[in-house]
Amino acid sequence: MIKKITLSTLAGFVVISLAGWLIMGFLFKEQMKELMEGMAACGTTEPNMLFMFLANLTLSLLFAILFYKMGIITFLSGLVAGIWISVLLLLWYDLWMFSSFNFMTLKACVFDVIGNAVTGGLAGGVMGLILGKLK
Mean pLDDT over each residue of the chain, to the nearest integer: 90
Model pTM score: 0.86
How far is residue 114 from each of residues 66, 78, 95, 120, 132, measured CA to CA in Å? 21, 17, 14, 10, 27
Radius of gyration of the chain measured on its C-alpha atoms: 15
> How does pLDDT run across 15-61, given as a tens digit for each residue?
999 998 898 888 877 777 776 676 666 666 677 889 999 999 999 99
pLDDT at 44: 66
> How does pLDDT run across 93-134, given as a tens digit for each residue?
989 988 888 777 888 888 889 999 999 999 999 999 999 999
> How does pLDDT run across 83-92, given as a tens digit for each residue?
999 999 999 9
